[in-house]
Amino acid sequence: MPRQKLVIALGGNALGNSPQEQLKLVKETAKTIASFAKEDFDIIIGHGNGPQVGMINLAFDVASLSDNTIPPMPFPECGAMSQAYIGYHLQQAIQNELAAQHINRTVCTLVTQVVVDEGDQAFKKPSKPVGIFYSREQAEKLAQEKGFKFVEDAGRGYRRVVPSPLPRKIVEMDLIKELASKGEIVITVGGGGIPVVEDENGYHGVAAVIDKDRSTAKVAIDVHADLFLILTAVDQVYINFNSPNQKGLSFISLKEAKDYIMEGQFAKGSMLPKIEACLSYLEACPSGQAMITSLEHAPAALAGKTGTVLTV
Is there a single domain that holds both residue 43 and residue 73? Answer: yes
Rounded to an integer, the average pLDDT of 155-159 is: 82
pLDDT value at residue 13: 65
Phi and psi dihedrals of 282, rounded to 5? -65, -35
Please state the separation of Cα 249 from the chain's center in Å.
Answer: 22
pLDDT digits (tens, 9 = 90+) for 20-46: 888 888 998 999 999 999 887 899 999
Angle at 248 between CA 244 and CA 249, to 5 degrees: 145
Average pLDDT, the chain: 90
Q: Are 176 and 190 in contact (CB under 8 A)?
A: no
Report the C-alpha gap between 86 and 80 in whole angstroms: 10
Is there a single domain that holds both residue 92 and residue 152? Answer: no
Is there a single domain that holds both residue 279 and residue 307? Answer: yes
Has residue 185 been placed in a domain?
yes
pLDDT digits (tens, 9 = 90+) for 237-263: 999 998 899 999 999 999 999 999 999
Please state the separation of Cα 238 from the chain's center in Å.
Answer: 20
Report the C-alpha gap between 250 and 233 in whole angstroms: 16
In percent, the amount of the chain with pLDDT more than 90 equals 62
Tell which residue, 122, 71, 33, 6, has the closest CA to residue 25. Answer: 33
Is there a single domain that holds both residue 102 and residue 241? Answer: yes
Q: In which band, very low, low, confident or very high, does the pLDDT at 142 lie, cut at 50, 70 and 90?
A: confident
Is there a single domain that holds both residue 142 and residue 224? Answer: no
Q: In which band, very low, low, confident or very high, does the pLDDT at 1 lie, cut at 50, 70 and 90?
A: low
pLDDT digits (tens, 9 = 90+) for 194-239: 999 999 999 999 989 899 999 999 999 999 999 999 999 899 999 9
Phi and psi dihedrals of 42, rounded to 5? -75, 125
Has residue 123 been placed in a domain?
no
Q: Which CATH number fits the domain that encloses residue 189?
A: 3.40.1160.10
Is there a single domain that holds both residue 51 and residue 158? Answer: no
Please state the separation of Cα 50 from the chain's center in Å.
Answer: 9
Report the C-alpha gap between 131 and 261 in whole angstroms: 27
pLDDT value at residue 87: 94
Report the C-alpha gap between 161 and 45 in whole angstroms: 25
Is there a single domain that holds both residue 145 and residue 184? Answer: no
Torsion of CA 299, 303, 309, 311, to 10 degrees: 130
Check residues 230 and 74 and name the one with the higher pLDDT. 230
Is there a single domain that holds both residue 219 and residue 269? Answer: yes
Mark 272-297 as b/e (b = at least 16 C-beta within 10 Å).
bbbbbbbbbbbeebeebbbbbbbbeb
Is there a single domain that holds both residue 199 and residue 279? Answer: yes
Number of structural domains (the chain) is 2
* Most confident stretch, 47-56, 145-154, 288-297: 288-297
Instruction: Return the active site residues.
Output: 12-13, 128, 212, 274
Domain interval for residue 152 = 128-162
- CB under 8 Å to 270, separation ≥6 — which residues? 154
